Structures are given as C-alpha cells and as structure tokens.
Structure 1
Amino acid sequence: MDRPTTPTDAPGPLELSEALTALRAEAGDDSTGRPSEVVLAALRTTGVLRLPIPAEYGGLDADWHEANAVITALARADASVAIIVFLHYAAVSRIIAYGSDEQRKRLLSAVAHDGRIFASSWSEPGTDAAKQKVSTTATRCSTGAWELDGAKTFTTGAGVADFYLVLARTGDEQEAPQGSYGRSDQGVFVVDSTRPGFVFDGVLDLSGMRRSATGLIRLSRYRAEEADVLTRSHRTPEAIGHPHTLGLTLGAVALGIAQEAHDTAVGTAHGRALPDNPLSRHHIFELGAQLAAVRGVVEAATSAPGDRTGSALTAKVFGSETAEALCRTAQGLAGSAAFSRSHPLNRLAQDARAITLMGPPNYLCRELVVTRMANR
C-alpha cells in the first residue's frame, strides 16, 4: 500500500523496492557508463539518499548498520549504483561530523529536500593510493575566497553528482608531516557542479562497475568561498577516513554481489541438475559458507565498539576478495555461458574485482589496519 514519505519515516520496503525495480530493469545496460535518469530519479525521490541524515535536516536518521544494509540491497541489483550511494553516504557522514552549523543546514537539507547527490573527488593521475601527493591547488585570494585548479580522475558519480568533496593542496604547512591517509597541508572543499570553473570531462570505459559514472572532472579557476571549506590542515586526514570510524564499508557492496552470485549460481546448478553430483554439492556448500563469512564481517563492522576503522577496512578486504572467489566458483557451476560478457555472473565477478582496487585499495587497507594495531 502506498504511503507518503515523511522526514521521520524509515525507508520502507515499498520505497526501496521502487529504486530496486528501476535498477533491475536496466542492470545489464552499461552502454552509457552511468545510471539512467530513471534510476537517478528513483534514488532522488525515495528515502535512499537521505537515509543517514539527521531528522532535524529532513533526513531519516538511520544508523550506519541500516546504511550498509541498504547499500547491500542496492548492490544485489546493481553494484555500480550501490557504489555511488556508498560514496554519497560517506560524503554525508563527513558533513555531519565536520561541517559548520550553516554547512549542515544548507547541504544536508539539499539532500533531504531536493534529492542532491554527493561524490568525493580525491584521485589524480600519478597520485599515490594514500592521497599524500595531490596536484590540485587551492589558492587563497585577497578577498578571502579560494581559487581551485586541477584535474581529478576516477571520480565515481562524475557528471551525476550535484556536489563534490574535492581534496586540494592548500599549502598551510610547507613541511607538513605525512599522515596515514591524506596530509595536513590539504583541505576538503565542497564544489558545486553548477558554478563556473567546474568541468565534467566524461566517464571512463571500465571493466567493472561500468555504470558507476566513474570519470574525470576538472577545476579551472573555480571560486570557493570560505563557507565551502569543509576541513583544512590537521583535520583533513581524519576527515578522509571518517566514514570508516562509523563502520560504513565497501564490504556492504561486496556482500550484495556475493549474495546475488550465490543465488544465481545455485539456481543455475539446480537447472542443470548439478546437485546430483557430489563434487558440485561440495561447491554449492562452499558458496554458502563464503556468503555467510562475508555477511559476518560486514555485520561486525557496525557492531564494534568505539572507532570501527579496523572492522570496516577488514570487511572491505575480506568481503571483496571472498566475493571475487565466490564469483569464480559460481562461474564454474554455470559453465562456459557465465564467461560471456552479457552473463550476470561475469558482470558480478568484474564488479567484485573492482572493489578490491577502490580506495583505499586492499593492500593499503591491510597496511592501515596493521599500523593501527601496532600503535595501540
């Protein structure tokens, strides 16, 4: 039964179902490299985008366990769109934690009431994975505003998002000590895609996450006011890693992929009468065990007390690598047809692989987790 959505309502099954129906209708069409306007409209008009926003700004006030669960549900239908929503939630979490009262009111209300989408834009050609060497500059003007210049690549949601959190070099400290992720001579700026100086340079032709609108943006003498500065100086590295402290994890996307691959493979196996074969039965068992393991680490990410960074990054590494292995097993059960470009298992396998490479990539996640353990 239809019911109106209010700022205090949790996103109901019907609302999420609307978004999932739109996703499943076109999940196999990656020709444009981005979600369609139909899908974007479904995200904007349901409770998906405003899920973790506090009720005082018109949001649904959900916790991060619920956010991970919605990301997983979206990933079962289309991992590319789930990634866009994950990064939107990550940006929202930074605004909640680091934004001024004015910024929270202005930006979070724009999401809750107008369906605006956020993206993060850190990476550049030649930038290391820890984001400690970026070329994009933010130069202070005599008026007190900032002028941003530079090019960003691998920006997920490029050309789709309305606002971008852009990492730029401010030069606040010329001899700034290097942090574990980002530096203290950098700042995070809120960039409005409708202002002069913002240029969308198109999407990349990826092998996985092909509908994620991952592409390039460019800033050419983009003027950012002081009210557009989210963080600067020593707060920048902690702001970059903030979503992990909440338990928000890319492992939630991996779980959606693993669940979909598992169900597809088991359905195919029964259609081919493979459970009659003892070896195939063992493979089916392994699929279930792998899926349960991924679910366990993702759920643990938001149940850990205090700072959940270690659990969130562990869920990302274990979830993505296990989902990738699960997809390979599933492809074996499905036979040669699963390796055609159009087969959903092939798409799922490529998407799982992509998560292992997304920032922070799995090798850096391992380093960050072990370093945190050594510093306790």
Structure 2
Amino acid sequence: MDFTLTDEQRLYRDSLRDFVDREIVPVARDWEHEGRYPTEIVESMRKLGLFGLAVPEEYGGLAADTVSFALTFEEISRGWMGVAGILGSHAVSCWMLARHGTDEQKDRYLPDLATGQKRTGIALTEPGAGTDLQGITTTARRDGDDYVIRGTKMWITNARHADVLPVLVKTDPEATPRHRGMSILLVDAGTPGLEVTKDMGKLGYKGTESCEVVLDDVRVPSSALLSGVEGKGLQHALSSLETGRINIAARSVGIAQRAYDEALSYARERTAFGQAIGDFQAVQLRLAEIAVQLQAARLMTYWAASRMDDGVRMDTESGMAKIFASETALQCATDAMRIHGGYGYSTEFEVERLYRDAPLMSIGEGTNDVLRSVVAKSLLAGKASIS
C-alpha cells in the first residue's frame, strides 16, 4: 500500500497551493463579507485549466486522476470553500456529460466547458426533494420531437452562469419503480421559460450563488436527452455524485486544514497568564485532536479517490470518506474557534467563516445520516467489505 503522492501529484498540489496563497487567501475574508462574486479568481482558475479537470483530453480537458481531483478541492477550500463550489458543480456535471453523453452532446458542450469559456452545474434538488431525488416533481412531457419541462429546482450552484444546465426530470411520472421514469435533459442558457428567480440567503458557502430555478414550459429538442435514452436519469445523477462525494470530502479536508493552521498559529502567538496559550495542556490536547482527525480524513479521502482510479465501484468508499471528512471539518472548525476564544467569534478572524462553511459539508451530496444507511445496506448486502 502506497500512501504517498506521486511526483506529478505533488508538483500539482504545490502549484495549486501557491495559487491559493497568492490569489485567494488575501481576499477571501473581505470579499465574502462584502458579498462580492470572485470574478478574478474564476478567471485565474480558467487560465490554469481547472475547469477541464473532469473533461477527457480529446475535448481539451485535463482528464485528471481522482486523487488530483481531490487535491484541487482540498487546496482551494483551504483558501475559500465557496470558490471551490463554483468548480465543484461544474466538474461533477462535466464528468456526467463525458461519461453518459452522446457523441453529439460531448462534441457540442465539452470543449467550451473544458476551457471555462462556458460553465455548467447540475439541477437535481427541489423545494420538496433533496436527498430523496426520486421525490422530484419536475416533469418533461413529450411533444413531437421536443420535451416540454415544467417544475422548480432549488439550491442550484452556478445557476446564473450555467450554459448548459443538466436538469433531472420525470419523463414518466407514473413509472414503477419511480427511478425508471427519470431522465436528464440538457437545457441551454437563454432557453425561453428558463428563469433564475432568486439567490438563496445562506449562513455560509458564500462566493458562489445558490439559486431557485423555475422551468415554465421550457421546450428542448429530443437531442437534449442525456445519453439519448429515457429512464436513466437517476443512474446518471447518482454515478456523478460518487465524484461529488469525493469533492465534498476533499473540501472538508481543506476546511479542516485551514482550521488547524489558524488554531496552531493563534496558540503560538496568543498569550495568557504570562505565557503562550499553546503551553497549556488543554490547548495542546485540542490541537493534537485536530491534527489527528485532519490527517485521518485526508487519508480516507485519498483512499476513496484512489479506489475510483482503480476503476471499481466505490459508492461505499466515497460515502464513508464524505461522512468522516465532513464530520471532521465540523469538529475542527469548532475546536479552532474554542482555541481562539472570544476572537473566534469575530468576523476579523478566519475561523468564523470556517465555522459557517463547515456544516454544509455534512448536508451536501446526500446528508450524512442517509449516507450512513447507504453504507450499512451495502455492507449487509455483501457489496462491500471492511478488511
């Protein structure tokens, strides 16, 4: 077993780290509080080719291995998790298009998505359906050679910038089981009836928009059906969420790493009772626990990513990594705030933002409680083992 990065992965990580320290860390806190969209950071990520992470080389992408994919989201989230969300939804959608799209769909969309000239997201969740995607009510009825979409999507990242936007719909609302009636349709920006109605107010995860999207009799051609086959939409979505859970796990590691960095620095610099607070055993124990949990989460995330690179089904592994890393991010952010004391509650310190960003990691890409059930069912069915 090899727990080290390759030379290429290490160089890639170091270049990302330099980019984050130079262009994200100095502005993240101020821009986040101002509600400012990180246009300049997005442009730099585009120039670095990061929007092509999940796009095959034949379409101009990086075709990054999954460990490098994880490294990307870890490093960017260490600087500003919200910015990682811009890239994350785009990458998950690109991966789905590359794996399940028809040749025509891949030729049409992937080259521009690889360069970042165009961006994308993925419209799955609804006001009444989050983790339970089979509960969606958005429909697409066939009308000649077209589909006509009607429904509302919620919490859609990149909605205002997405061109194209994959939308999960029910092409056969009466199908049993329900997933057999679900499909994904590719909706171009500017299509009549497609409207981004509002940005959702959020506790954290600032920097990128999370929107309500209304589809009011949106008409798309039958060629917009992902893979060209009806009834495969939930399968396509769930397969892409395997990469999404690696993405969330890696973002969680980035949050935990920044919490550790901030806590360690503060423990060295802050004095109380005539000495650095890092000299007190209570603070030392908390720092050690942050470091232990952080490194364990990192190794589990890389392990799950490497399993995907091995070409095996890894929904159990990605779920385990997402659960553990996201819970670690929550705990590390909280412990870092405790080490900071009253200053940890101040908007002038980074840990306040980490404390607000971390909870989303336990919710996004499937809540942790649901994922625990998924992992357990896989173990009980003998589809996965721990050894």
Q: So what's the TM-score if we normalise by structure 1? A: 0.89
Q: What SS does the aligned partner of 1:160 have? A: coil
Inter-CA distance 22–228: structure 2 relative to 1 (3 Å threshold): farther
Equivalent runs, 1:257-296 vs 2, <5 Å:
257-272=255-270, 273-296=276-299
Q: What SS does the aligned partner of 1:322 have? A: helix
> What displacement does 1:115 show?
2.7
The residue that corresponds to 1:194 in the other structure is 190
What is the rounded CA distance, in whole Å, between the counterparts of 1:49 and 1:19 in structure 2? 16
Is 2:304 the counterpart of 1:301?
yes
Inter-CA distance 130–156: structure 2 relative to 1 (3 Å threshold): same
Do 1:174 and 1:185's aligned partners in 2 also have CA atoms closer than 8 Å?
yes
Any idea what the Cα deviations from partners look like across 1:44-86, whole Å, max 9, x if unmatched? 2221101221111111121111111101111011101112212
Inter-CA distance 158–22: structure 2 relative to 1 (3 Å threshold): farther
Q: What SS does the aligned partner of 1:357 have? A: coil
The residue that corresponds to 1:149 in the other structure is 150
Any idea what the Cα deviations from partners look like across 1:209-263, whole Å, max 9, x if unmatched? 1223111111122121122111554422221111354573410000000001100
Inter-CA distance 65–266: structure 2 relative to 1 (3 Å threshold): same
The residue that corresponds to 1:337 in the other structure is 343
More deviation, 104-113/315-324 = 104-113
The residue that corresponds to 1:103 in the other structure is 105
The residue that corresponds to 1:215 in the other structure is 211
Inter-CA distance 292–91: structure 2 relative to 1 (3 Å threshold): same
The residue that corresponds to 2:236 in the other structure is 239
Any idea what the Cα deviations from partners look like across 1:101-153, whole Å, max 9, x if unmatched? 111121111112453211111111122522111121111112x1111121111
More deviation, 188-197/56-65 = 188-197
Do 1:254 and 1:319's aligned partners in 2 also have CA atoms closer than 8 Å?
yes
Is 2:221 the counterpart of 1:225?
yes
The residue that corresponds to 1:47 in the other structure is 49
Q: So what's the TM-score if we normalise by structure 2? A: 0.87
Larger helix share, 1 or 2? 2
What is the rounded CA distance, in whole Å, between the counterparts of 1:64 and 1:256 in structure 2? 16
What is the rounded CA distance, in whole Å, between the counterparts of 2:152 and 2:34 in structure 1? 22
What's the Cα RMSD here?
2.2
Do 1:11 and 1:47's aligned partners in 2 also have CA atoms closer than 8 Å?
no
What is the rounded CA distance, in whole Å, between the counterparts of 2:13 and 2:352 in structure 1? 31
The residue that corresponds to 1:138 in the other structure is 140
Any idea what the Cα deviations from partners look like across 1:291-317, whole Å, max 9, x if unmatched? 111111111111235111111111111
Do 2:73 and 2:247's aligned partners in 1 also have CA atoms closer than 8 Å?
no
Equivalent runs, 1:83-98 vs 2, <5 Å:
83-98=85-100
Amino acid paired to 2:131: A
What is the rounded CA distance, in whole Å, between the counterparts of 1:30 and 1:14 in structure 2? 24
The residue that corresponds to 1:7 in the other structure is none
What is the rounded CA distance, in whole Å, between the counterparts of 2:151 and 2:47 in structure 1? 33
| Aligned residues with identical type, % of pairs | 24
What is the rounded CA distance, in whole Å, between the counterparts of 2:296 and 2:60 in structure 1? 36
More deviation, 113-122/319-328 = 113-122
Is 2:197 the counterpart of 1:205?
no
The residue that corresponds to 1:69 in the other structure is 71
What is the rounded CA distance, in whole Å, between the counterparts of 2:242 and 2:339 in structure 1? 38
What is the rounded CA distance, in whole Å, between the counterparts of 2:37 and 2:95 in structure 1? 23
Inter-CA distance 364–32: structure 2 relative to 1 (3 Å threshold): farther
> What displacement does 1:266 show?
0.3
Inter-CA distance 349–15: structure 2 relative to 1 (3 Å threshold): closer
Inter-CA distance 19–146: structure 2 relative to 1 (3 Å threshold): farther
What is the rounded CA distance, in whole Å, between the counterparts of 1:355 and 1:253 in structure 2? 8
Inter-CA distance 341–223: structure 2 relative to 1 (3 Å threshold): same
More deviation, 317-326/79-88 = 79-88
The residue that corresponds to 1:5 in the other structure is none
Inter-CA distance 91–72: structure 2 relative to 1 (3 Å threshold): same
Inter-CA distance 34–102: structure 2 relative to 1 (3 Å threshold): farther
Amino acid paired to 2:48: T
> What displacement does 1:14 show?
5.1
> What displacement does 1:39 show?
2.3
Do 1:138 and 1:149's aligned partners in 2 also have CA atoms closer than 8 Å?
yes
The residue that corresponds to 1:4 in the other structure is none
Do 2:100 and 2:226's aligned partners in 1 also have CA atoms closer than 8 Å?
yes
Q: What SS does the aligned partner of 2:264 have? A: helix
List runs of 5+ in structure 1 lacking aligned partners.
1-9
